[in-house]
A = this chain, B = another copy of it.
Amino acid sequence: MTLQTLTDASIIDALRRKRFKATSQRIAICRIALASREHPTAKRIFAEVKKTYPTVSLATVYKTLHVLKQLRLVQELAFSKGENRFDSNMEPHLNVACLQCGKVIDVNDHGARRLILKAAEKTRYTITDQRFDIYGFCEKCKARMRLTTQ
C-alpha cells in the first residue's frame, strides 16, 4: 500500500481483514500516522488527533500504533533518549537524523536492499525487517553552530 491509495476505506479494510474493529478513533489515528512522513512520536500523533477528536486518550494512540505494527504498516524506532518515533515507510530505506534538531530525512537507495541480501546470505537468517539510521548534523544546524561559536 502506498501513500496515494491511503483512504479511510483502505484503512477500514486493512483493520477488518485482521479482525480489528474499525472504531472512529482508530481510523483517525491511522490516517494521521500513515500519512505523516515526519517520523512522529506518539505524543505528536496524539496532539494531531485531538484537533478533530478532543476526547481521545494517549493510551488509545499507543494501542492503535501497536495494531499498526501488527498490520506491518508502521515501524517503531526507539532512540537512546526521548520518545520513540513511528515510521510508515516500510520499504528498505535510510533514516538520516540530525542529532541537534531531530529532523529525519528518508533516503531511498538500492544499496539498502543489497545490504539486506548480503546479510541474509552471510548469516542464513530469514530477514523480516530492517532499520538503517545515519546520525549527524543537518545543514541548518551546522550553520547555526558556526554562528554561535564565533
Contacts and interface: CB of A to CB of B under 8 A. Distances in A.
Interface of A: 76-80, 84, 94, 96, 98-99, 105, 107, 109, 111-112, 114-116, 118-120, 122-139, 142
Contact of A94 (B76, B84, B115, B139): B115
Contact of A119 (B78, B96, B116): B96
| Number of chain copies forming the complex | 2
Among A109, A118, A123, A142, chain B packs the most CB atoms within 10 A around the CB of A123
A15 B103 CA distance: 32
Nearest to A86: B80
B128 A131 contact: no
A105 B118 CA distance: 13
A81 to B, nearest CB: 8
Given A134-B130, A135-B128, A78 B80 contact: yes
Given A119-B134, A136-B120, A128 B99 contact: yes
B109 A111 contact: no
A137 B130 contact: no
B134 A127 contact: yes
Contact of A79 (B78, B112, B114): B78
Contacts of A105: 123, 125
